Structure 1
């Protein structure tokens, strides 16, 4: 008689069939023998006689019966004959015999119908496995043809029986070895196998310790005490609280498995250098359910070694929506509650694997809130200043002058940079990575364009002061360099992908609440870091060095002019040029030692106000021009050049 008949047994068989047909148990399925049973047209039966031990299993077939006999089980002793559905027309039926020694589970699939011969009875220690084929039993009219073992052909001929010999090994150790090898998808083997073992309470494996709880009607929540590995104090074991909303209301009974992984080696994927997870990992699974958006969160308490206040810690979970072959950790869906340097509690609204992610090598920013406020106010002032300056340059009489075109290009680039930087925090918090992919690229382009126009100002001023008798390049050339050249590296980085997105600026006052902004991923060994060094710093170095050289040359050239001797306010013009031509960006290289308290503030103030300083410079020079009829601006050099050309002619 078939065991566990009835509605519950039928549901269990349907579940097993769906699970095994999908291949989810293929990793831990130890034996699979398939073939075609050639039989007569009379009454058909499935006979089995299974005993404990580890010897020989014989799979045989004749005109009326398919038989499985032998000694391979750890706990199961079962002997019976099952009647099969008649089929007068068909003389051949496909079948497969499956054996999982870890679960002590054996079942046969005949013509698409499952027949469980040995049901799971817990996870076995020593068991009979590694079944190897013996000698084939002759050739006959009725029997097994097209036989395969693990999808490898044994024989195309019809044989009455096949014998397989097993040996005793430690199944738990072998299972953990298989789970620890390969990619992240094998981690699921452990919880799936524990769920199917039909055990309630604690389940102990060398690689994991699980606790299985059955949620029944009226479930009001439950605090799970996970089993402790040998030699580990109980207070060091993570605690888990299951809320009442975890049980699906449409089910009377459902199992939940909480698994504790003391060694996190199975999960050290896709973290990047300097970002390890702590040793403890907890996985939570509800039977046949995908749980998300819980109204009351799961609470997992981790007790760990002391984490310095300069190191950030975040509750993370395995993102199972991505490639199942990779363990990808995400921070969304979990809230981090710090309960001391040695205790962290994770409140999560979904079920998967949970851990604590630690940033080992952070560079927290001191006074981040103050620096953020200063930068935002400076960018707002620069944005408005650039608008005023662009309007002024477009309405004055010299609007079509080459110098005015260069100044206008720089003003437009700084306007775009100030505006985007002012909005970057809002976009990062509202739009996330998808919005930051585009916004970060635009911000990068604005920065490179500003650097390019600063360099053009350097070159243009040098040209006007020193190349008096040579015509300066056409304004279209300046626009191509200032607005076209920066687009090239940005387009290349967009094509490469995974460069722009949301980044975190960690505050030393609160490492767990970083400032979010759209920018390049400059984590170690990333493409964004290489791009930062080879593109951003190269642009910056060219601007800073050329700016310093230009300042020296211009100062040497004009120091004997009457304007300089008569009006020392001209010094403000030179100082304004130093801001324009990138020397303030070089302050970032001085952020070390005792200067680290002062330099960040000076850096943020001067660079966020560059648009304002640009407008102030033109206002001062315009007043000087009106008062004295001359200027230290490029326009004066241009008029001087025109006078010299006229004298020469």
Structure 2
């Protein structure tokens, strides 16, 4: 009997789930394809009106058209030239049309841009959804090929038109379906409902009021967004009584500005019907309670959706300078422009951001994702500056010492040590002044300083690689002559020029770069180096990181082989010689740079400090090594002990090979 009841229950649940699935509505539409057009001027034809009937997406030789009756409020009829968005007329263009019925929002992604054809709002009663495929157009020479609906390709033929038939559905029903979908997937939906709240404003009302989002932040009882409307808003209205509308959105369909930043899902719209409210004497306060973003700086932003006669007035009041105003006045009304102007950001904690804004529009919090903020930035910058200054002075002193020694000694290692020291001196000098040059010279100067800094780094790593190769030659190629000095100079100084020249020719690689701190407010250290872009990241990976990986791996192998070769020798039994041998060769072989591969939590802070200390003071450590070896050589001579040391760690270990 028990198993019978269980089987009936399972059967009932299966039937319920099947019928429920059949009755579910499509929460969104995503149609993508490739527009096969001619080599002419391209246009976008938009003709959208209210209702719920049919949407047509068509294309020909020079036009992409989107028309139909699908919206609750939006009407849009326009012809938009697409060439200003940088479309390549000689190649086919990929595009996507996205319809969000819960937001009454229509987007077009084309040419790497996202255009808003219908701006977001909250439908009051019903939505136009279930846009099922209708009768498509004929096969044509120009049109849409590889059309796909929600990722499923319809046909590989080129069609002139795709049609979609809509069905009017209750907004409340779609909201319930979205909420149930959230529970089943156990995560926040990307297409949840918008929550709308209306309040009557009176010009004579001296009190403000608060409006809270009905959605709670995680497991806490705090609302995701809490809005305080000051009495200054009512005093700025034109009518004695006006209606203020606050709408809370939780959606990722709002355009993200750049891959270096991201926008929180929480977006709030504050408007007064048919009025533009700007330059408030008392700001609107919004408290955003969100997921922890403690390591990333945040900024309150507003979405510039203001149109009409007063838009230029707002721009002149909100933007900081004439140049910014000029850009905003000519901004594309179809593109979403998230601006920091007019808002003040207060980071109350890792999960709480307070925004104070002097105008009404859409608001959200933008998170700086790239470059990654750095903890203890001020301390690391101070250590690096002191280390580079000390290293440069040490390298200059070491160059003088090596040049004097080169006159009276034919030691093969001296020219190599001299080349490495010169490269490190240039690297330390440039890195010490990179912040000053970035702040004074700006982007134009940083292009050349960044390239020169990259060359100095590659040259230093190359000379370290030459040290590795020369050690291997002395240990295992005893009876073969070493390569000539001009060969080492050609490799160490000329070879690193090639990748730098290539990257300069490619362009947009070197320039101004900012490193942000995690302090409140975040501080920025400006330097001349490679920009933060996908192209620059690839360039750094194929040049610097590749050379560094080869240097560290080969250096470790040669260090092990040298240790195995000389560990039984008499001079190795002296502990200080043994220590200086391993420590000195480790510095020469660039082992301190391998710390960059260990930058992960929870050791990140320790690795950052250790990396800055060891590498910024590297020139000082090399000078200290040579001075200690010279002191040991003089001590050995004064005590009458036999020693063939010539000031190099390698001579302590390889006296027989060096004589050969």
8 Å Cα contact 1:414-1:446 kept in structure 2: yes
Counterpart in the other structure of 1:554: 562
Q: Does 1:474 align with 2:459?
A: no
Write out per-residue CA displacement over residues 24-54 of structure 1, whole angstroms, 9 at most, x where no aligned residue.
x9857869xxxxxxxxxxxxxxxxxxxxxxx
Distance 1:622 1:447 in 2: 28
1:268 pairs with 2:255: yes
Say yes or no: does 1:622 pair with 2:641. Answer: no
Equivalent in 110, 116, 125 of residue 186 of structure 1 = 116
Is the alpha carbon distance of 1:126 and 1:371 closer, same or farther for their aligned partners in structure 2, counting shifts above 3 Å?
closer
- SS of residue in 2 equivalent to 1:602: helix
In the alignment, the residues of structure 2 paired with residue 430 and residue 212 of structure 1 have an alpha-carbon distance, to the nearest angstrom, of 51
2:383 is matched with which residue? 374
Tell me which moved more, 431-440 or 233-242: 233-242
Structure 1 segment 12-51 matched on structure 2, within 5 A: none
Q: Does 1:236 align with 2:251?
A: no
Other structure's SS at 1:303 match? strand
By how many angstroms is 1:311 displaced?
5.2
User: 8 Å contact 1:211–1:226 — kept in the other structure?
Assistant: no
Moved more, 334-343 or 533-542: 334-343
Residue 482 of structure 2 aligns to a residue whose secondary structure is: coil
Report deviation, 1:492.
4.0
Query: How large is the RMSD of aligned CA atoms in angstroms?
Result: 5.8
**1:581 to partner: Cα distance:** 0.9
The structural deviation recorded for 1:397 is 4.1
Distance 1:346 1:318 in 2: 14
Give the alignment partner of residue 646 of structure 2, picking from 621, 631, 635.
631
Residue number in structure 1 paired with 2:393: 384
- The answer on whether the counterparts of 1:544 and 1:583 sit within 8 Å (CA) in structure 2 is yes
Distance verdict in 2 for CA 1:613–1:484, change over 3 Å:
same
- Aligned residue in 1 for 2:522: 513
* Shift, 1:374, TM fit: 2.7
Counterparts of residues 397-476 of structure 1 (less than 5 Å): 397-398=406-407, 403-426=413-436, 436-476=446-486
Is 1:303 aligned to 2:313, yes or no? no
CA distance in 1, matches of 2:73, 2:336: 31
Alpha carbons 1:428, 1:516 under 8 Å: kept: no
SS class of match (1:275)? strand
Deviation at 1:535, TM superposition (A): 3.2
Say whether residues 1:580 and 2:570 are aligned partners: no
Is the 8 Å Cα contact of residues 270 and 329 (structure 1) preserved in structure 2? yes
- How far the C-alpha of 1:610 sits from its partner, in A, is 0.7
Larger Rg: 1
Would you say the 8 A contact 1:339–1:345 is kept in 2?
yes
The residue that corresponds to 2:544 in the other structure is: 536
Q: Distance in 1 between matches of 2:392 and 2:484?
A: 28
Give the corresponding residue for 1:140: none
- For residues 160-205 of structure 1, give each alpha carbon's deviation from its aligned partner in whole angstroms, at most 9, with x where no partner exists: xxxxxxxxxxxx99997464444545379679xxxxxxxxxxxxxx
Cα deviation code 1:547-598 (max 9, x no counterpart): 2233233344445556545684463243122122111222344455775564
Answer yes or no: is the 8 Å Cα contact 1:381–1:609 preserved in 2.
Answer: yes
Q: Give the CA deviation at 1:428.
A: 5.3
Q: Relative to 1, partners in 2 of residues 1:591 and 1:477: Cα closer, same or farther, differing over 3 Å?
A: same
Q: State the alpha-carbon separation in 1 of the partners of residues 277 and 474 from structure 2.
A: 70
The 3 A distance-change label for structure 1 pair 227 and 565 is closer
Cα drift, residue 208 of structure 1? 10
Structure 1 residues 533 and 642: CA distance shift in structure 2, 3 A? closer
Structure 1, unaligned runs of 5 or more: 1-24, 32-100, 103-123, 131-148, 152-171, 192-205, 248-254, 645-649
Tell me the CA shift for residue 230 of structure 1.
11
Equivalent position SS for 1:504: strand
Partner of 1:497: 508
Partner of residue 313 from structure 1, selected from 268, 286, 298: 298
TM superposition score normalised by structure 1:
0.55
* Residues 264 and 280, structure 1, Cα contact 8 Å, conserved in 2: yes
Question: Relative to structure 1, is the Cα distance of residues 336 and 543 closer, same or farther in structure 2, using a 3 angstrom cutoff?
Answer: same
Sort the Cα spacing of 1:227 and 1:576 in 2 relative to 1 into closer, same or farther, 3 A: closer
Rate the CA distance shift 1:623–1:227 in 2: closer, same or farther, 3 A: closer
Map 1:577-616 → 2, pairs under 5 A? 577-590=585-598, 598-616=606-624
Q: In 2, distance between residues paired with 1:550 and 1:594? A: 31
d(CA) in 2 for partners of 1:318 and 1:297?
20
8 Å Cα contact 1:393/1:408 also seen in 2 = yes
Q: 1:367 Cα shift? A: 4.5
- Cα distance in 2 for residues equivalent to 1:439 and 1:240: 50
SS of match in other structure, 1:630: coil
Q: Post-superposition shift, 1:382?
A: 1.1
Give the TM-score of the pair, scaled to structure 2.
Answer: 0.54
Alpha-carbon shift at residue 223 of structure 1 (Å): 7.7
Match of 2:15 in 1: none
Checking the alignment, whether the CA contact within 8 Å between 1:241 and 1:299 is kept in structure 2 is yes
CA distance in 1, matches of 2:45, 2:356: 33
Query: Are residues 235 and 464 of structure 1, via their aligned partners in 2, closer, same or farther at CA, if it must alter by over 3 Å?
Result: closer
- Structure 2 residue runs of 5 or longer lacking an equivalent are 1-43, 51-68, 80-98, 122-192, 237-241, 305-326, 638-643
Task: Give the alignment of 1:197-236 within 5 angstroms.
Answer: 236=225
Instruction: Work out the CA distance in 2 between the residues paired with 1:568 and 1:267.
Output: 65
- Deviations, residues 362-407 of structure 1 (Å, cap 9, x unaligned): 9765554444433332222112211222233344443996633322
Task: Report how many aligned residue pairs link the two structures.
Answer: 466
CA distance in 1, matches of 2:535, 2:461: 21
